[in-house]
Structure formats: C-alpha cells, structure tokens
Amino acid sequence: MILLGALFTNNFRKINLLYLLNAIILQFALSFLLLKVPPITNVFNSLSNGVLALKEATDKGTGFVFGYLAEGAPKPFEVIDPGVANIFIFSGLMLIIVVSALSAIFWHWKILPIIIRAISTLFKKPLNVGGPIGLSSTANIIFGQVEAPLLIRPYLGKMTKHELLVLMTVGMSTISGGVMVVFVTMLSELYTINLITHFLTASIISVPAAIMYANIMMPSDIKTEKKKEIEESKLYRGTMDALTSGTQDGLQITLNIAALLLVLITIVTLVNTGLEALLPMVSDEPITLERIAGWVFAPVAWCMGIPTTEMQLAGSLLGVKFILNEFVAYINLSSIDPSMLSEKSRVIMLYALCGFANLSSVGILLSGIGTMIPERKSDLISVSGKALIGATLASCFTGLVVGIIS
C-alpha cells in the first residue's frame, strides 16, 4: 500500500521516512484506542444512541413537511413491500440538513473548535503540518470537504502546493458528520456492530493516512503557521445566523447529492447497456463498468487484506466509489448477500469506502476552494489528480489498519 503511493511521488529521494513511520504508528495507536479501549468505546456507544434519537426527531420533522412520504410516517394505503416504499431523499438525506445546522450551532458556541483543536495537536508535529492545515484537516471529521477550508480562509492564499495537496487529500479521504449519520441508517441491517463508532474512527484515522500519502506524493518541509496579524475566519454572527447558514449549506449538499446520484446512475446504466451490446459476455455475465473496476481495484483490495475469493467483489465496490461516489458504493454494499463477504471483509470495506474520493469530488473541491483563492486555481488543478489518488489510497490504508486491529 505504501509503494502504491510512492509510484506517484514527484521526488522519491525526498520522502521523509520519519514522518511516514509516525503516520503509521499514529494510525494503529488511534485505531486501538478508539476500537479496543472500553471507556472510549462506551462514549461512542452513547453517541450511537444519540444518532438514533436524532434520526427519530428528523423523521418527525420530515413527516410534518412531506407527510406520508417520510420514513415511519403512517401511509394512507396498505404497504405491501416496505423496502420499495422507502424514498431515499426523504428517509436518509434529510438528516444531512439537520446535522449541518447542528454542527454550525456547536461551532458558533465554541464546542466543536475545542474538540477539533485538541485532536489537531496529535497531527501537527509528528506529520509536519502547520497549524492552519492541522485545524482544517481535523475539521473534516465533522465538516464537509469545502466547509472545512473556510475555517482557515485567510491562510489559503499563502499555502504551498504541498499544503494545498494535503488540504484536498484530507478533504476527500473523510466524510462529513451529516453524511456519516445517513450511512449509519443505510447499513444498520447489514452490520451488527456499532456503526457510528466505526465511521467516526474511519474519519479520524483517515486524516493521518491522507497526510501520509500527501507527504509521499509531494515531499516538502515548508509549512504555513499561524500569525498574530491574521485571525481565523469568523463563520457566523450569532446563533440564528449559524442555524440558518447551516441549514442552507445542508440543503445545498442534499440537493447536490440527490442530483449527482440521479445523473451518475443514469450515465452508468447507459454505459453498461452499450458495453453489454458491444462486448461479449465473460463467464456468462455481461461486461459492466463495475466488473471492469473490480479487475482494476482487485489488487488494491487484496493489499488491504481481502481474501482472493472476495477481492473481485471488493474491488468492484472500490471502483464504484472512485467512478461514481461513496453513496452508490454503500448502496451496493448494503444490497450484497452477507454470505458473499466475510465479517472481516465487510469491516474492511466499511472503512475503505468511507471517504469523498471520487471524480465528482475533484470538481466540487476545485470549484469551492478555487472560489476562495482564484489566484491559486492553476495550483489546485495541478495537484488534484494526486489528491484523488492519495485520498483513495488513504481510505484503503485505513481499512488495512482496522483489518489488522480487529
């Protein structure tokens, strides 16, 4: 897995082995603490109960606005198949709006900044990143890939290309809190484990993994530090401003996800139809993008610890995430017969798919961060390819680490 990242480095000789070793040790240590130490796992169990309560409360609000279309709302007709009656945008995506609003309020109340700064101290010195990058990277555990850089907007224009690479790689290797909660509800029937614990762990340990791959692909010792004359951006003017801004951001994210799912699934279906008509079947099955992706990513799945009998299926899920997005990959994962993947493989894939690393995210990042620093748009474009590959490998490395720990 390390050598896969080294294939894309621009200076193999300058890779700092100390930072590489620190990143690996940090990932294993955090994985052990978050998954094996009872006091910490008990806290996450409490968070899981909070997620369920949040889901129930969101269903109440969704039911008031959308009536019987909401999940759990009484229907004015007999439901023969509850699975078919489920409407994804109302049953899952509404959570993103609520969590986005709550995150904005907790940030304004200085609750999240304290937690994020505490965690960021773990990454700064061992991984050789400056204060602003450490803050933004850690904020990705809660915020989205575009929202987190807003916290350090005054520093963005002064950052090196290496730091911009770190920023984009971390952004695509983690998921936001709102999306995390949606995935918990999507996969609850497939997994008997505490999903919120694993998703939080995935986002936390993917931060040093992403920084590690950025340090491998573009080694640099230059870092931007905080200066007294530059203050961090104040995002909100008051609690109501945080509430309304967070709600608007959540709505925008929800609509973007719904639109991307609609368009991408349509395009893939069309391409698969064309491939089925043009190419012969292999093993009595048609050639599809998912099968092609499975062949490409199967060796990566094997490197993560997936058995050879399951690596084609696991590689296909990785390819779907890379080409489309993690939503489609998790939907495919949730529909797979549990017997087709072992329990350990399901845990590894849960982590490997946990991240925004896909082609559409590159466009979202270039648009979002490019709007903040238009003068650095060319630098952002030049590192975007490495960022996508680094973020994909970072999520896979997270799956590898957790597979060993578990």
Q: What is the 3-state secondary structure (H, E, C) of 326-383?
A: HHHHHHHHHHCCHHHCCHHHHHHHHHHCCCCCCHHHHHHHHHHHHHHCHHHHHHHHHH
- Which whole number is the average pLDDT over 311-335? 89
| CA distances, 66 to each of 53, 76, 289, 295 (Å) | 20, 13, 36, 43
- pLDDT tier at 308, thresholds 50, 70, 90: very high
| Tokens 């999903």 -> residue | 195
The candidate with the shortest Cα–Cα distance to 94, out of 141, 56, 68, is 56
Give residue 345's pLDDT.
94
Mean pLDDT of the chain, nearest integer = 86
The candidate with the shortest Cα–Cα distance to 138, out of 73, 225, 38, 205, is 205
Give residue 165's pLDDT.
95
Better-predicted residue by pLDDT, 48 or 140: 140
pLDDT for residue 25 is more than 90: yes
Domain holding 360, by residue range, is: 2-405
Better-predicted residue by pLDDT, 105 or 47: 105
Give residue 121's pLDDT.
82
- Which whole number is the average pLDDT over 311-316? 93
Give residue 189's pLDDT.
74
Give residue 56's pLDDT.
83
Better-predicted residue by pLDDT, 267 or 396: 396
**Triad 149, 383, 376: Cα angle to 5°:** 60
Q: What is the CA 313 to chain-centroid distance, rounded? A: 21
pLDDT for residue 232 is more than 60: no
Give residue 218's pLDDT.
94
| Tokens 């994804």 -> residue | 88
Residue 286 burial (10 A CB sphere; 0-12, 13-18, 19+): middle
Better-predicted residue by pLDDT, 55 or 383: 383
pLDDT for residue 278 is more than 70: yes
pLDDT for residue 43 is more than 60: yes
Contact 28, 405 (CB under 8 A): yes
pLDDT for residue 83 is more than 80: no
The candidate with the shortest Cα–Cα distance to 354, out of 313, 376, 325, is 325
pLDDT per residue as tens digits for the range 153-170: 778 888 999 999 999 999
pLDDT for residue 182 is more than 90: no
Residue 132 burial (10 A CB sphere; 0-12, 13-18, 19+): buried
Give residue 302's pLDDT.
96
- Which whole number is the average pLDDT over 358-377? 85
Structure tokens at 108: 């304004």
CA distance 386 to 81: 45
Give residue 229's pLDDT.
42
- Which whole number is the average pLDDT over 308-330? 90
- pLDDT tier at 391, thresholds 50, 70, 90: very high
Best-predicted range by mean pLDDT (96-105, 189-198, 292-301): 292-301
pLDDT for residue 231 is more than 50: no
pLDDT per residue as tens digits for the range 203-225: 899 999 999 999 999 998 888 87
Q: What is the CA 323 to chain-centroid distance, rounded? A: 15
Q: What pTM does this model have?
A: 0.82
pLDDT for residue 21 is more than 90: yes
- pLDDT tier at 29, thresholds 50, 70, 90: very high
Q: How many domains does the chain have?
A: 1
pLDDT per residue as tens digits for the range 127-137: 888 888 888 88
- pLDDT tier at 230, thresholds 50, 70, 90: very low
